[in-house]
Amino acid sequence: MTILRLIFLLLSFVVIVSCSEKDKQRTAYGEALGTTYSIQYYSEDLIPLEKALDSIFERVNQSMSTYKESSDISRINRGDSLVEVDSLFQRVFLLSKEVWQESNRYFDPTVGDLVNQYGFGPENGPKEIDSVTIDSLMRYVGFEKLELNGNKIIKESPHIYLDFNAIAKGYTIDLIGNYLDSKGSEDYLIELGGELLAKGVNRKKASPWTVGIDDPMQEVGQRELTAAIVLQNRAMATSGNYRKHRTDPETGALYVHTINPLTGFAQKSDLLSVTVLAENCALADAYATAFMAMGYDLSKLVLSQQDDLDAFLIYSTLGGEMKEYATPGFEKLMKDL
């Protein structure tokens, strides 16, 4: 064997090893924020992810968990006006205000007392629900009754109860993505409680990440997909309590119940499921919640006014037929199952 041939083989070996390490898929799984997470990423070097995740989850819980009595949001909800909120809280507050305005107030984190009254929050419930009770609680609902002044939250009334659970999970995913970005990872897929953030491609398959959307009519414990899409450099969030749908005895239409922040009552919604694509997961998470409260017609109207959002809606007609609607941008990303 000539020296030139030997050098060529050695160089080829180095290239193969380098590509193999660079393209190595690394994974992380666990439980956090009352749900599970899974992360797939590519990096030449192993990223110290476990310690970073523990820090992110702890910071989010300490800042925004209504289930933690010592958290900043719990103290604010108890009327403590001296709490100085961190940068995470401030960012989520501003994003919430943005979605609150763009959704015509259908996304409103001040519905916390209503959530508790219906038995969906950290407090035991449900409690008594009637028009008098709802009217009394509605005095403290409205994001316009809050102000972020520096690092302080100014409340119109100490009784206003904040609940960021409909946006905090998505924001947590964004924080994880920011961390992977800072460590040089260019290709990853993050999932937390069904919400997703994708960047780059799946190098193992040499193609963009492909993710599925659950069939809203599946039985509990089953996993059936109704659609699949290509997700690249975008976030996805799905909302829907479709497993608890009810049938209208007169029309046969399927409905789920969701709290309307404009009235305070849990109203019928013809949307069984909504999947939203956005530039970050916090926005996708928040808009998915807002659309469930809006229903099909209003959701389509808002989507027509938002160039940076795409969505897939599964809804029920008056005759009980289940139908689907995808925005043009979403439709382009759909793949055959």
- The interaxial angle of helices 296-304 and 281-294, nearest 10 deg, is 140
**CB proximity list for 174: less than 8 A, separation 6 or greater:** 197, 235, 280, 281, 282
For residue 31, the surrounding DSSP H or E stretch is: strand 25-32
**Residue 65: Cβ-neighbour burial (10 angstroms; 0-12, 13-18, 19+):** buried
Superfamily of domain 201-335, CATH level 4: ApbE-like domains (3.10.520.10)
Closest CA to 109 of 62, 168, 58: 168
pLDDT tens digits, one per residue of 106-135:
999 999 888 878 776 666 555 667 889 889
Q: Which residues contact 46 (CB under 8 A, 6 or more apart)?
A: 26
Nearest CA to 106 out of 290, 327, 232 is that of 290
Low-confidence stretches of the chain (pLDDT < 50) are 1-20
Residue 250: predicted pLDDT: 67
Using a 10 angstrom Cβ sphere, with 0-12 exposed, 13-18 middle and 19 or more buried, the burial of residue 210 is middle
Helices (H), 183-323: 281-294, 296-304
pLDDT of residue 20: 47
The per-type count for the chain, helices as H runs and strands as E runs, is: 10, 17
Q: Per DSSP, what are the bridge partners of residue 245?
A: none
Residue 265 in tokens: 């009552």
Classify 255 as helix, strand or coil. strand
Distance (Å, whole) CA 324 – CA 253: 15
Helix (H, G, I), strand (E, B) or coil at 60: helix
Asked if 292 contacts 240 with a C-beta cutoff of 8 angstroms, the reply is yes
The domain locations on the chain are 201-335
8 Å CB contact between 83 and 76: yes
CA angle 308, 255, 161 (to 5 degrees): 65
pLDDT at 13: 34
Cα(181)–Cα(322) distance, integer angstroms: 40
Q: Are 59 and 81 in contact (CB under 8 A)?
A: no
Measured between alpha carbons, how far is 22 from 7 in angstroms, rounded to an integer? 22
Report pLDDT for 254. Answer: 55
Residue 18, both tokens: 């380098």
Residue 171's CB is within 10 A of a number of other CB atoms, namely 24
